[in-house]
Amino acid sequence: MSLLSARNLRTRFATDRGEVRAVDGVSFDLAEGEILGLVGESGSGKSVTALSVMRLVPEPPGRIAADSLTFDGTEILALSEAQMREIRGSSMAMIFQDPMRSLNPVLTIGRQLTEVLRRHQKMDGTAARRRAIELLEMVGIPMAEKRLAAYPHQFSGGMRQRVMIAIALSCNPRLLIADEATTALDVTIQAQIVELVKQLTRERGTSVIWISHDLGVVAGLCDRVNVMYAGRVVETSPIRDLFKHPRHGYTLGLMGSTPRVDGMQKRLTPIEGLPPNLAEPQTLCPFLPRCRVSIEACRQRPPERRSFGPGHTAVCLAELGT
Ligand code: ADP
Ligand code: MG
């Protein structure tokens, strides 16, 4: 059974430009210990998908609906805010791009960690302190015991992100969502954090949703990828298959605009044009105006989801290789 399952997830925002369909009919499953990547350009609905799962979308102006959205068999959208808070503190955790925004600048690192442990794990002061040191060591912070007394500004960006990860892991979550968590970090630290996440899934069976616009990082980390465009999953595939046989014009475009994963840097070719206005209903493929491989049929009817092998589907009419 999957830990997380979304069927026809739709998250919309009421704006003065009309109703923005930020997430427009997204379905996916996440197994225990699986690392799922969400990729796509800015504005494609990655963050709102994650926030919907955590029920952290501001409502209003947001509104989350789904045929079903279950976590460990429980219908998330049916839970009260109090029940949801309980789950967020114990089974689901999320880390964001900017740790400075999530850490409290006037409290020590130790205090912020132990507070979570005391509140959610009901630990006493001594146990919480011991566990805080363990967690900091686990995320690779040297001299952890001494560092408990430090304030966030005394840490480098990479260290702060590790602290955020330690806080996220303090409740032993079954689901960890990382939203552009390493985007602001230099590549060496990024690689270390990626290793840490892999280790977690291996050792604890943690399930991970890894959000990034960087296809290279996703290639090195994820088991499977959902490619998002205009609030939809336009392609989903096991990682190797996606790079060998992309089946959507958008995925192809993204790959053309990403440094090669084998380390050979080639020139970046950004996808020309802009994503569609999400307040306007899409009747044809939303990527059509920017697509380099579109065919006549794309201008005549909306594409249907087609299967291209185990776990690999794409919503594209073009025939991209074999
Ligand atoms: P991504 O994370 O892929 O860059 P987001 O999920 O943040 O994209 O955003 C998807 C769409 O939802 C964007 O068009 C964004 O402007 C819109 N959106 C996100 N949050 C809000 C909000 N609070 N109010 C109105 N629109 C929003
Ligand atoms: Mg985002």
Give residue 146's domain range.
92-172
- Domain membership flag for residue 8: yes
Q: Which residues of 189-223 are buried (b: 16+ CB within 10 A; e: fewer)?
A: bbebbbeebeebbeeeebbbbbbbbbbbbbbebbb
Ligand with the closest atom to the CA of 275: 1
Distances (CA, A) of 145 to 134, 135, 167: 9, 11, 15
Residues 35 and 109 in one domain: no
- CA 136 to ligand 1 centroid distance, Å: 33
Ligand with the closest atom to the CA of 44: 1
- Domain membership flag for residue 168: yes
Check if the beta carbon of residue 78 is closer than 8 Å to that of residue 65.
no
Q: Is pLDDT above 90 for 322?
A: no
The kind and range of the H/E element at 158 are: helix 157-169
Residues 290 and 193 in one domain: yes
Residues 145 and 285 in one domain: no
Distances (CA, A) of 58 to 52, 64, 206: 9, 10, 27
Residues 232 and 286 in one domain: yes
- CA 75 to ligand 1 centroid distance, Å: 24
pLDDT tens-digit map of 215-255: 888 999 999 999 999 999 999 999 999 999 999 999 999 98
Residues 164 and 212 in one domain: no
Report the pocket of ligand 1 as residue ranges, CB < 6 Å. 13, 15, 20, 22, 40, 42-48, 58, 61-62, 278
Three-class DSSP category at 82? helix
Candidate of 15, 17, 19, 20 to mutate for ligand 1, largest count of ligand atoms within 8 Å of Cβ: 20
Mean pLDDT of 111-116: 93
Which residue, judged by its Cα, is nearest atom 13 of ligand 1? Answer: 43
**Residue 73 exposed, middle or buried by CB count within 10 Å (0-12, 13-18, 19+):** exposed
Which residue, judged by its Cα, is nearest atom 22 of ligand 1? Answer: 13
**Quick one: what percent of the chain has pLDDT higher than 70?**
95
**Residue 25 exposed, middle or buried by CB count within 10 Å (0-12, 13-18, 19+):** middle
Q: Which residue has the higher pLDDT, 68 or 171?
A: 68
Atom of ligand 1 minimally distant from the CA of 211:
2
The kind and range of the H/E element at 208 are: strand 207-211
- Domain membership flag for residue 97: yes
- Domain membership flag for residue 320: no
- The number of folded domains in the chain is 2
pLDDT tens-digit map of 119-163: 888 899 999 999 999 999 988 898 999 999 999 999 988 889 889
**Quick one: what percent of the chain has pLDDT higher than 90?**
72
Distance CA 169, CA 63 (A): 29
pLDDT tens-digit map of 251-303: 999 988 766 655 555 566 789 999 999 999 889 999 999 999 999 999 999 99
Q: CATH number of the domain at 246, please.
A: 3.40.50.300
Residues 164 and 227 in one domain: no
Alpha carbon 313 to chain centroid, angstroms: 19
- Domain membership flag for residue 152: yes
Candidate of 41, 47, 56 to mutate for ligand 1, largest count of ligand atoms within 8 Å of Cβ: 47
Residues 78 and 217 in one domain: yes
Residues 268 and 142 in one domain: no
Q: Which residues touch 264 (CB under 8 Å, ≥6 apart)?
A: none
Q: Which residues of 258-274 are buried (b: 16+ CB within 10 A; e: fewer)?
A: beeeeeeeeeeeebeee
- Domain membership flag for residue 133: yes
What are the residues whose beta carbon lies below 5 Å from ligand 2 (ion)?
47
Check if the beta carbon of residue 214 is closer than 8 Å to that of residue 258.
yes
- Domain membership flag for residue 177: no
- Domain membership flag for residue 223: yes
pLDDT of residue 266: 56
Ligand with the closest atom to the CA of 227: 1
Q: Kindly indicate the confidence band of residue 9, based on its pLDDT and cuts at 50, 70 and 90.
A: very high
Residues 154 and 99 in one domain: yes
Residues 71 and 104 in one domain: no
Check if the beta carbon of residue 6 is closer than 8 Å to that of residue 69.
yes
Residues 192 and 273 in one domain: yes
Residues 165 and 224 in one domain: no
Average pLDDT, the chain: 91
